[in-house]
Structure 1
Amino acid sequence: MPKLKKELTLIDVFSVAVGAMISSGLFILPGIAYAQAGPAVIVSYFIAGLFAMTGMLSQAELVSAMPKAGGTYFYVTRSMGPAVGTVNGLITWFSLSLKSVFALVGMAAFVKLIVGINIHIIVFVLCAVFIIINLVGIKEAGRVQVVLVFFLLTALVFYIIRGIPAVKAANFEPFVKGGWRAIFSTAGFVFISYGGLLKVASIAEETKNPAYIAPRAMMFSMFSVGIIYFFVVFVATGVLGDKLALSASSLTPISDSAQVIMGRGGRIILDIAAVLAFISTANAGIMAASRYPLALSRDGLLGDFLSRVNKRFNTPHNAILFTGLLMMIVLLFKLKVLIEAASTVLILTYMFSCFSIIIMRESRIQNYKPRFCAPFYPFVQIIGILGFGFLLLEMGYEALFISIILIIGGFLVYWFYGRIRSNSEYALLHIIERITAKELTTNLLESELKEIIRERDEITKDRFDHIIESAAVLDIKDSLEVDELFKRIAGIVSKRLGLPYEDILSRLWGREKEGNTAITPTLAIPHIIIEGKHIFDIFLIRIKKGVYFSDSAENVHAVFVLVGTKDERNFHLRSLAAIAQIVQDADFDKRWQRARNENELKDLILLSERKR
């Protein structure tokens, strides 16, 4: 399968998220939102941000464990299965594309003030330009994003500093005009403002050191944008008051307030900032949205042509073109429909993220190893799920209708296309397996997660890894004495290496008499030298109920047997050092005992941190 280049840095990813969030949600929505909630619109933005934070923490953990193209789709599929994953992937792709179109429509409102060209022509041309930028390469798109976001943040900070002294307290009275229900329904309406976080998850595969960078980029951008939103909407409300609602028709509320604060020059600065924001959102939108059909195609849930990567630019050209086509089609939709549809599916996506982290953790899959762990689990996720459900209900029947239609559409795509071609394993099956005591899974998900960790942590296989992968394993359920253990070890060594059974058994006892090979109360490493050249092997033994080695090692569960010739002495010592690093993990013994099969025992060793 073609791989995407890892070229995005922390500043690139931060810029993608910020550029995606600070756009239409800030430059257009405040006027429309004020018309619904009054001055309490600042509370609506704050509530939306709190709920977005619960989803962000869940996504940060998931993306640090599985940094793959398709972001939310990828980990929803691996946690809840391909049917739910298909629904999530398609609605997220739809949401990100809608948000990008929303930005282009916003930009058209400003362009209309300058030129007399038909708005739709301008929007189509701009859409085509950003499609080309993304086709050429994500590194180039990332550089454009950094420049745009720098100027955007500078302009907004300038607006806040100049605007706070002009705020009038009278413009916040009465504060709650439409009641608390209006505040919560408006929070759902403006939730699309926090959609940029999804874009970090979708481009994680193309990020350098994604397990470190992606979660931090999400948190930095979330807090930065939350502060910007609060103060910008606070200034706009405090300066314009009820006139802010009138700006809903012009779609330029922040620019209108900038003109009051700083005159014509201030308006021009904020107009430019708005256009930059819309450009950055459209750019980031195509970049992120196109990774969802790519991921769906990789899993056999959409056509193979969508997973093709351009050999020259290493970009998913068909997925980008397909996303651009969708954006051009939905350009014909009404603005309010765009906002409601985008916010609705975004809320659903965040809800899926909260469910996913609960399922991944409770499945106890050994190879689920996030670098960032969401705090206060599971309370944050439960609060998020309940909160997102409440927001959907408060948004009204139209939003629920849109949600149902999109979900049904996603299931139909899966049923008639993906179901026939996809054969994936998911974490929910592991939970059901544990509850019912029926074997429902193989090792597919564990193997896939193992390869993801290797790619994420840039693990290069060495000789020790190759030996462990092919090692013979003894998994003993009952307790036994050390003499019986040595007999069993001698049996598998003799069979594997073609050496005399009695000779192996004699060497094992000879080494044990020289010194106890149990190095901890739960771990022993018997190692013997044999005749010959260029022979070295490792045997893995787990004794569930333990074996007595000595008074200081009465219950040994893990036994690593090293067998080699004299000329392999140096590698013998390196293997001992590797094992020593692996077993230093405080949770090693617990995870060794919890492993369900031979593959999981090997994965525990292969994926442990050690110097290579």
Structure 2
Amino acid sequence: MTVSQGAALSIGAVLGTGVIALPALAAQTAGPASLIAWGALVVLSVPLAATFAALGARYPDSGGVATYVRNAFGRRAAAVVGWSFYFAVPVGAPAAALFGGAYVSAALGGGTRTTLLTAGALMLAVTGGNLGGVRVSGRLQLGLAGLLIALLLTATITALPHAHTANLHPFAPHGWWAIGPAAAVLVWGFAGWEAVTSLAADFRRPKQDLPRATGIALVVVAVLYLGIAAASVLVIGPAMPGTDAPLAELLAIGVGGQVRTIAAGAALLLTLGTMNAYYAGAAKLGAALGRDGALPAWFGRGAAPGSVPRRSLVVVALLGAASLAVVAATGTGTRALVLLTSGCFVLVYLMGSAAAIKLLPRRTLARWCAILAFASSVGLMVVTGWYVLGTLVIAAGALLYTRRARGPEKSPEISGRAVDSVAA
């Protein structure tokens, strides 16, 4: 996998379906002050991204965050992190697919039926793409990322001339404390910096290529997220909390024409990019968990660099389909799925950054980033609130499984593969 493909996967993992709906949800929670929450999470992304890039470069293994935690704290802690990420993807994937499907139904009609059929088709598409291996999914992601960046830049640049500073008043209509809950909503849009670490061993030169890919992704994500958020507040203004499609509104104001069709295309690109990156990372992680004894050994095929973890991928796809079926049968909205997924990722960040503090060399920039990331993750857990409880159920399942399944506390074959330390 090349630097450009790795950067595209990172961009897709982070800059996903958050652009579709989060600007409106955040503005509904905190008004124009939601821009502070956007800025805070962009700043938080710097130490998080740097921490996981440093770990991935030093420990290039398909286990990703689970490998780092295993080397730092043992197999039970690694199982908790691995399960939290692996089983979060089938919960979050239907929500992401339904976001894209809603835009398609708005453009073509058909209501819930069109939304569900589109969601199912998206999930099948990313499963098929990843069955071909990381090279196929990486090339797919590179093309999607290019189209996505062009579209978002067009929406922002064409809409900003219509901005009005009067839309910033009142700046905090729900009080300054509302910035915290707005940040909790935005966690969904900024999760993903850890996803590509499971693919670190598939880079040609992990020590050099992974930090470069992460740096490129960080700059692109920061520019596009802040641009879309600022344009949404300044251009759409007080009407934004009442819309489910702020990106479509920006395109309508800036470009005009068949806005619903354009917005549907954008939603599909965003959804495909996000789901492709997460399916690829989760499939590799599941295989590594099977290899290390945190899941049944049946999962372990495909954990080696360059191999395709088809068994793990099929499980992710089937669990995702089951989640979508539950949503279709019960009429449950996507909000619960989003917040449960975010709670899982907060725990992954917390334990991953704690492992980095222990594993990375002292007195390096990377370790200081890990300390900042750990403190920030504690704050994210606080603002996420009760939805972290779902993660605790998954964690309990992991601990019960590893208690019954015997295996080495550490993973010597992984620990011995650490490359020279990375300072950034």
TM-score if structure 1 supplies the norm length? Answer: 0.64
Give the direction of change, closer, same or farther, for the CA distance of 1:314–1:115 in structure 2 (3 Å limit): farther
User: Which string of whole-angstrom CA distances, capped at 9 and with x for unpartnered residues, describes residues 43-91 of structure 1?
Assistant: 1111122223222221111111101102111111111111110000011
CA contact (8 A) 2:288 2:303 kept: no
**Distance (Å, rounded) in 1 between the aligned partners of 2:86 and 2:303:** 21
| Residue 134 in structure 1 maps to residue 130 in structure 2 | yes
Task: Choose between structure 1 and 2 for higher RCO, CA contacts under 8 A separated by at least 6 residues.
Answer: 2
Q: Report what 1:352 is aligned to.
A: 351
| Residue 384 in structure 1 maps to residue 397 in structure 2 | no
Deviation at 1:267, TM superposition (A): 5.1
Give the direction of change, closer, same or farther, for the CA distance of 1:115–1:207 in structure 2 (3 Å limit): farther
CA contact (8 A) 2:61 2:414 kept: no
Give the direction of change, closer, same or farther, for the CA distance of 1:180–1:84 in structure 2 (3 Å limit): farther
Q: Percent identity?
A: 22
Give the direction of change, closer, same or farther, for the CA distance of 1:179–1:412 in structure 2 (3 Å limit): farther
Give the direction of change, closer, same or farther, for the CA distance of 1:374–1:132 in structure 2 (3 Å limit): farther
| SS state at 2:294 partner | coil
Give the direction of change, closer, same or farther, for the CA distance of 1:180–1:81 in structure 2 (3 Å limit): farther
The structure 1 residue matched to 2:172, chosen from 164, 170, 176, is 176
**Distance (Å, rounded) in 2 between the aligned partners of 1:399 and 1:210:** 35
Deviation at 1:324, TM superposition (A): 0.7
User: Which string of whole-angstrom CA distances, capped at 9 and with x for unpartnered residues, describes residues 282-324 of structure 1?
Assistant: 222211111121111010121111112399x931110000111
For the aligned residues, what is the CA RMSD?
2.4
CA contact (8 A) 2:32 2:168 kept: yes
Give the direction of change, closer, same or farther, for the CA distance of 1:115–1:279 in structure 2 (3 Å limit): farther
| SS state at 1:197 partner | coil
| Residue 150 in structure 1 maps to residue 150 in structure 2 | no
Deviation at 1:168, TM superposition (A): 1.0
CA contact (8 A) 1:16 1:196 kept: no
User: Which string of whole-angstrom CA distances, capped at 9 and with x for unpartnered residues, describes residues 409-448 of structure 1?
Assistant: 322232233xx2x1132xxxxxxxxxxxxxxxxxx73x64
**Distance (Å, rounded) in 2 between the aligned partners of 1:185 and 1:341:** 15
Aligned length: 411
| Residue 259 in structure 1 maps to residue 252 in structure 2 | yes
Q: Report what 2:312 is aligned to.
A: 319
Give the direction of change, closer, same or farther, for the CA distance of 1:448–1:385 in structure 2 (3 Å limit): closer
Deviation at 1:261, TM superposition (A): 2.9
| Residue 402 in structure 1 maps to residue 404 in structure 2 | no
| Residue 38 in structure 1 maps to residue 37 in structure 2 | no
CA contact (8 A) 1:70 1:291 kept: yes
- Unpaired segments ≥5 residues, structure 2: none
User: Which string of whole-angstrom CA distances, capped at 9 and with x for unpartnered residues, describes residues 169-227 of structure 1?
Assistant: 11111112222321122112211212232222011121111111111111211121011
CA contact (8 A) 1:61 1:374 kept: no
Give the direction of change, closer, same or farther, for the CA distance of 1:303–1:360 in structure 2 (3 Å limit): same
The structure 2 residue matched to 1:450, chosen from 406, 411, 416, is 416
The structure 2 residue matched to 1:124, chosen from 120, 123, 130, is 120
- Counterparts of residues 408-427 of structure 1 (less than 5 Å): 408-417=396-405, 420=406, 422-425=407-410
**Distance (Å, rounded) in 2 between the aligned partners of 1:47 and 1:285:** 24
Give the direction of change, closer, same or farther, for the CA distance of 1:15–1:50 in structure 2 (3 Å limit): same
| Residue 293 in structure 1 maps to residue 286 in structure 2 | yes
Q: Report what 2:13 is aligned to.
A: 20
**Distance (Å, rounded) in 1 between the aligned partners of 2:212 and 2:53:** 8
Q: Report what 1:185 is aligned to.
A: 181
The amino acid that maps onto 2:416 is K
**Distance (Å, rounded) in 2 between the aligned partners of 1:130 and 1:376:** 33
**Distance (Å, rounded) in 2 between the aligned partners of 1:45 and 1:234:** 9
| SS state at 1:321 partner | helix
**Distance (Å, rounded) in 2 between the aligned partners of 1:374 and 1:414:** 34
Q: Report what 1:164 is aligned to.
A: 160
Would you tell me which structure has more helix in proportion to its own residues? Answer: 2
Give the direction of change, closer, same or farther, for the CA distance of 1:137–1:49 in structure 2 (3 Å limit): same
Q: Report what 1:73 is aligned to.
A: 66
Q: Report what 1:271 is aligned to.
A: 264
User: Which string of whole-angstrom CA distances, capped at 9 and with x for unpartnered residues, describes residues 7-33 of structure 1?
Assistant: x10111111111222221111211112
TM-score if structure 2 supplies the norm length? Answer: 0.90
Give the direction of change, closer, same or farther, for the CA distance of 1:386–1:239 in structure 2 (3 Å limit): same
Deviation at 1:99, TM superposition (A): 3.8
**Distance (Å, rounded) in 2 between the aligned partners of 1:13 and 1:126:** 21
Which stretch of structure 1 is more off in the superposition, 401-410 or 233-242?
Answer: 401-410
CA contact (8 A) 1:89 1:292 kept: yes
CA contact (8 A) 1:172 1:237 kept: yes
| SS state at 1:241 partner | helix
**Distance (Å, rounded) in 1 between the aligned partners of 2:98 and 2:364:** 36
**Distance (Å, rounded) in 2 between the aligned partners of 1:15 and 1:99:** 20
The structure 1 residue matched to 2:365, chosen from 375, 396, 404, is 375
The structure 1 residue matched to 2:214, chosen from 202, 212, 218, is 218
CA contact (8 A) 2:167 2:237 kept: yes
User: Which string of whole-angstrom CA distances, capped at 9 and with x for unpartnered residues, describes residues 358-398 of structure 1?
Assistant: 11147x9xxxxxxxx961743x33333222222222233x2
**Distance (Å, rounded) in 1 between the aligned partners of 2:14 and 2:360:** 29
| SS state at 1:60 partner | helix
Give the direction of change, closer, same or farther, for the CA distance of 1:448–1:29 in structure 2 (3 Å limit): closer
Q: Report what 2:321 is aligned to.
A: 328
CA contact (8 A) 1:25 1:192 kept: yes
Q: Report what 1:499 is aligned to.
A: none
**Distance (Å, rounded) in 1 between the aligned partners of 2:278 and 2:221:** 17
Deviation at 1:453, TM superposition (A): 4.1
CA contact (8 A) 1:60 1:374 kept: no
| SS state at 2:408 partner | coil
Q: Report what 1:340 is aligned to.
A: 339
Give the direction of change, closer, same or farther, for the CA distance of 1:39–1:60 in structure 2 (3 Å limit): same
The amino acid that maps onto 1:35 is Q
Give the direction of change, closer, same or farther, for the CA distance of 1:87–1:268 in structure 2 (3 Å limit): same
**Distance (Å, rounded) in 2 between the aligned partners of 1:225 and 1:21:** 7
Deviation at 1:93, TM superposition (A): 1.6
The amino acid that maps onto 2:148 is L
CA contact (8 A) 2:294 2:398 kept: no
The amino acid that maps onto 1:354 is S
